[in-house]
Amino acid sequence: MAAGDGLISMTPTSIAVGSGTASINADGGVDFSAVTSLSLNGVFTGDYDNYLISIAPITASGTVGLRYTWRALGTDATGSDYYEQRIVADGSSATGARNGPSTSTRISTISTGRQGYSFHAYGPYLAQPTAARSVTIDSQSSALIYDIASTHGLSTSYDGITIYPASGTLTGTVHVFGYEE
Amino acid sequence: MAEIAGLKLIVPSSVAGSGVSLSGAKVTFTAATSVSVNGVFDSTYDNYLIVFLGKVSSDGQGLSWKLRGSGTDTTDSNYARQYLQANNTTVAGGRATGQSSIGLVPISGIQDVGTHLYWYGPAIAQPTAGRSVTAPYQSLTDYAWTHSTSTSYDGFSFIVSGGANVTGALCVYGLSQ
């Protein structure tokens, strides 16, 4: 009944940074240090509809938004086509907020401590609007939930993604997996 | 340490529903009012993941999911669910017990949205638990649910609410153990 492995490592065809350093590791992930932005090219293909992007561990030079844009053939999609809905659980407080349209949107927030992100991308390579969902463990206040659902409204096929902090730099590892189908 | 794949793609033994088809392991549905998937849960794995991408024909409608055994949906009222939803600045939760399905996991009629559904122990003859993480259009909804019957199930169904239909695709994965 099992047809094969469920998650397939998607090695980027190439990567780019704004500043800082990054390299593709032996497992197909990307290790990066002190980058102002990191672009992964060729990680979404017609072979798979949906993807898991694992980002951990990661640190920033301050407490800022961890943002992303979809990317096609080496160019970021920076039109005002992104919306986000977030929910934050911080101690006994649970709050929500919606933002958009904007020219990029957030995966989550990021701080100087350690945290981890599972980022689900639904249909980025399909020529239809794209949805995404992050599940985050944030080390602010020791432990904090900061989850975001986001959408991008253009019916365009994207083969890559750019992640970046709203300010400062990032250090960590990112790995993209395709859900076999 | 030996490396083995942690997630295994599962091929359903069959699917059912008008507009529902099976290509390899991928279940595709077009304007379907209900989708049934058979033969995906067994004793090989305890826990499963369903990755769904699609949209409904009428915004505001959702999918009502049920367990299924030997080609028959559950008909009991042994489901309980808790949801957590963020819609702009409104954060709300709710619980219902004695339900005939896990509840209406919302998806969008505006654009395709994605859902991860986790089923814990559906093929084990004990109560089943589940959890969904959804990215509906401009909102956010999570569900946790239980089904209290100690029966082994090999599949699942979902029905679209409000007379609407759904177009999209899903795949089922077993979590290696």
Percentage of chain A exceeding pLDDT 70: 97
**Predicted pLDDT at A70:** 98
Which among A122, A130, A154, A177 is the top mutation candidate for probing chain B, defined by the most B β-carbons within 10 Å of its own β-carbon? A122
**Predicted pLDDT at A136:** 86
Partners of A128 on chain B (C-beta within 8 Å) are 111-112
Report how far apart, in Å, the C-alpha atoms of B44 and of each of A103, A139, B6, B54, B143 are. 45, 37, 13, 28, 26
Q: Do B140 and A97 touch (CB under 8 A)?
A: no
Residue A122 belongs to a domain: yes
Confidence grade of residue A176 (pLDDT, cut at 50, 70, 90): very high
Which among A1, A87, A125 is the top mutation candidate for probing chain B, defined by the most B β-carbons within 10 Å of its own β-carbon? A1
Give the range among A6-10, A133-137, B14-18, B68-72 with minimum mean pLDDT: A133-137
Number of domains in chain B: 1
**Predicted pLDDT at B153:** 98
Does the pLDDT of residue B16 top 70, yes or no? yes
Number of domains in chain A: 1
**Predicted pLDDT at B3:** 62
Residue B96 belongs to a domain: yes
Q: Do A2 and B9 touch (CB under 8 A)?
A: yes
- Extract the tokens encoding A32: 């990066």
Report how far apart, in Å, the C-alpha atoms of B110 and of each of A152, A168, B58, B165 are. 12, 36, 8, 13
Residue A7 belongs to a domain: no
Residue B85 belongs to a domain: yes
Confidence grade of residue B92 (pLDDT, cut at 50, 70, 90): very high
Whether A86 contacts chain B with CB within 8 A: yes
Q: Do A122 and B136 touch (CB under 8 A)?
A: no
- Extract the tokens encoding B158: 């979902």
pTM (2 decimals)? 0.92
Partners of A98 on chain B (C-beta within 8 Å) are 87-89, 138-139
**Predicted pLDDT at B113:** 84
Residue B132 belongs to a domain: yes
* pLDDT tens digits for range B122-156: 999 999 999 999 887 778 889 999 999 999 999 99
| Owning domain of residue B53 | 7-175
Q: Which residue of A has its CA nearest to B140?
A: A149
B-side interface with A, Cβ within 8 Å?
Answer: 5-11, 13, 24-26, 39-40, 42, 44, 49, 51, 53, 84, 86-91, 111-114, 116, 133-140, 169, 171, 173-174
Phi, psi (5° rounding) for residue A129? -55, 150
Return the biggest CA–CA distance within chain B.
52
Find out whether A50 and B114 touch, Cβ atoms under 8 Å: yes
* pLDDT tens digits for range A3-55: 678 899 999 999 999 999 999 999 999 999 999 999 999 999 999 999 999 99
Residue-wise DSSP of chain B: -----SEEEE--SEEESTTEEEETTEEEEEEESEEEEES---TT-SEEEEEEEEEESSTT-EEEEEEEETTEE--S--EEEEEEEEETTEEEEEEEEEESSS-EEE--SSS-EEEEEEEESTTSSS-EEEEEEEE-TT-EEEEEEEE-------EEEEEEGGG--EEEEEEEEEE--
CATH code for position B77: 2.60.120
**Predicted pLDDT at A1:** 65
Please provide the average confidence, as pLDDT, over all residues in chain B.
92
Torsion-angle region of B19 (φ positive above 0: left; ψ -120 to 50: alpha; else: beta): left
Residue B70 belongs to a domain: yes
For residues A64-91, average pLDDT:
95
Does the pLDDT of residue A154 top 70, yes or no? yes
Which among A9, A49, A148 is the top mutation candidate for probing chain B, defined by the most B β-carbons within 10 Å of its own β-carbon? A49
CATH code for position A59: 2.60.120
For residues A136-149, average pLDDT:
82
Residue A86 belongs to a domain: yes
| Owning domain of residue A104 | 14-179
**Predicted pLDDT at A33:** 95
Whether A109 contacts chain B with CB within 8 A: no
Confidence grade of residue A112 (pLDDT, cut at 50, 70, 90): confident
For residues B47-62, average pLDDT:
91
3-state secondary structure of A95: strand
Residue A19 belongs to a domain: yes
Find out whether A137 and A143 touch, Cβ atoms under 8 Å: yes
How many Cβ atoms are within 10 Å of B162's Cβ, its own excluded? 11
The interface predicted TM-score (ipTM) is 0.88
Higher pLDDT pick, B17 / A146? B17
Q: Which residue of A has its CA nearest to B113?
A: A131
